[in-house]
Amino acid sequence: MTQKVALITGVTGQDGSYLAEFLLEKGYVVHGIKRRASSFNTQRVDHIYQDPHTDNKNFILHYGDLTDSSNLTRILQQIQPDEVYNLGAQSHVAVSFESPEYTADVDAMGTLRLLEAIRLLGLEKKTRFYQASTSELYGLVQETPQKETTPFYPRSPYAVAKMYAYWITVNYRESYGMYACNGILFNHESPRRGETFVTRKITRAISNIAYGLEPCLYLGNMDALRDWGHAKDYVRMQWMMLQQDHAEDFVIATGKQISVREFVRMSAKEAGISLEFAGEGVHETATVTAVDSLLAPKVKVGDVIVKVDPRYFRPAEVETLLGDPSKAKRKLGWVPEITVEEMCAEMVAHDLGKAKQHALLQQHGFDVSVTLE
């Protein structure tokens, strides 16, 4: 049997790295697009990297960018993929307010460039296309929980760009008979989550505080409610969506939501720290009420370790998101296997390990800087 060929944009990101692992295990030849950067940006896929000098490689990286049609067309022409997973994006909602035009170019136009390249190369009947759509499309929510038929109301340049990408994917399916579909994914996290997204920012800061590497975690809106799942569960679903008889769009979520504040409390507990929250709005703080000094050797009862910094407030906020994944369960048999508690425990364990390493190096006189976000 011939091996299936997949192309992943955004292969160096959280989802791209888990998806590449998943497809390699299934026997695919996996091609990924990485961006040229002045320093290494492949840390998340280094463990599956294959020496270009070896024969029969099944994981191949290409330089490229979603803003460059000629590059995308050349890669697609060369590898003739059976499946394309468009995960590449400027994916940070807050950053999209600072760089709205770039976000639109990559997230909206980038999707069009890929679809158009598939069509112009005559691959529209061969290549199946997955678009990384998002619960941010629901923004100011019109219905709870949100499902495939819930109207969209995007609240950021990121979400507006992703709305174009959503509809152009539907349009190419309807206009050219392409197998193209949207996964409307709610927030999903892991130890590989980018350090400036709120869950990872929290698990990393709590771990650094536990070892005395940072004094305090500064956050924005702690009232925000999210439906958080684990990235490993969600990439499995991305693949499942491309294995059906007909292309369809699916909501992928856990069906449960908690606040940012609750995620802070949960993460601190995992690191042996009990917290009491007090004050409101910009004056809210969290104080340590009990501590397991084996897990958090540098933390004392009475320490204030969480504060609000208004600089992390967004010009327009998405206050609450809660998904209804019943279509995915009914039609594909997909259910998430990892709970938010298990995911949080995994992230904190990972970040405590890193913080412990940093602290040990520092103790022995090595200059180790910890980047604060």
Candidates 5, 6, 7, 12; binder of ligand NDP (CB under 6 A) is 12
Size of interface with ligand NDP, in residues (CB under 6 A): 26
Q: How many residues bind ligand GDR (CB under 6 A)?
A: 22
Helix (H, G, I), strand (E, B) or coil at 353: helix
Which residue is catalytic, options 21, 124, 136, 270? 136
User: Which of ligand GDR, ligand NDP, none has residue 139 at its interface (CB below 5 to 8 Å by kind)?
Assistant: none
- Assess whether 130 carries a catalytic annotation: no
- Of 359, 155, 343, the residue nearest 256 (C-alpha): 343
Q: To which residue do tokens 């992928």 refer?
A: 252
The Cα 332–Cα 348 span in angstroms is 32
Binding status of residue 13 toward ligand NDP by CB under 6 A = yes
107 binds ligand GDR (CB under 6 A): no
Residue 136 binds to ligand GDR (criterion: CB under 6 A)? yes
> Least distance (Å) from ligand GDR to the CB of residue 361?
27
Residues with Cβ within 8 Å of 133's Cβ and at least 6 positions away in sequence, in order, are 162, 165, 166, 169, 182, 183, 184, 185, 249
Active-site residue (options: 9, 103, 111, 134): 134
Stretch that binds ligand GDR, among 33-41, 60-68, 197-205, 278-286 (CB under 6 A): 197-205
| Out of 72, 91, 127, 198, the residue judged to bind ligand NDP by CB under 6 A | 91
- Shortest distance (Å) from residue 121 CB to ligand NDP: 19
In the window 128-147, what residues touch ligand NDP (CB under 6 A)?
Answer: 132, 134
Which is the catalytic residue, given 28, 85, 130, 158?
A: 158
Q: What is the dihedral of CA 268, 300, 197, 359, to 10 degrees?
A: -110
> What is the nearest approach in angstroms of ligand GDR to the Cβ of residue 217?
8
Q: How far is the CB of 91 from ligand NDP (least distance, A)?
A: 4
Q: Are 30 and 6 in contact (CB under 8 A)?
A: yes
Return d(Cα 170, Cα 248) in angstroms, integer: 9
Where does 217-293 have alpha helices with state H? 231-241, 260-270
The footprint of ligand GDR on residues 62-101 (CB under 6 A) is 91, 93-94
Q: Which of these segments, 88-96, 174-182, 205-213, 271-279, binds ligand NDP (CB under 6 A)?
A: 88-96
Partner in contact with 312, chosen from ligand NDP, ligand GDR, none, beta carbon below 5 to 8 Å by kind: ligand GDR
Question: Which two three-digit tokens encode residue 97?
Answer: 């307010």
Is 319 one of the annotated active-site residues of the chain? no
Does the annotation mark 138 as catalytic? no
* Binding site partner of 90, from ligand GDR, ligand NDP, none, Cβ cut-off 5-8 A by kind: ligand NDP
Residue in 28, 35, 38 with CA at minimum distance from that of residue 13 = 35
- 30 closest CA partner among 113, 87, 111: 87
- The type of residue at 264 is V
Distances from the Cα of 183 to the Cαs of 30, 157, 180, 316, 354, in angstroms? 20, 19, 10, 24, 33
H and E: helices and strands count for the chain: 11, 15
Strand-strand pairing, 285-291 and 304-308 = antiparallel
- Under the binding rule (CB under 6 A), the answer on residue 312 touching ligand GDR is yes
- Pick from 12, 134, 190, 254: which binds ligand GDR (CB under 6 A)? 134
For 286: left if phi > 0, alpha if psi spans -120 to 50, otherwise beta; the answer is beta
Residue positions annotated with a catalytic role: 134, 136, 158
Contacting residues toward ligand NDP, per CB under 6 A: 9-10, 12-16, 33, 35, 37, 41, 65-67, 87-91, 106, 132, 134, 185, 187-188, 194
Which spans of this chain sit near ligand GDR (rule: CB under 6 A)?
91, 93-94, 134-136, 186-187, 196-198, 201, 219-221, 224, 226, 260, 312, 314, 317-318
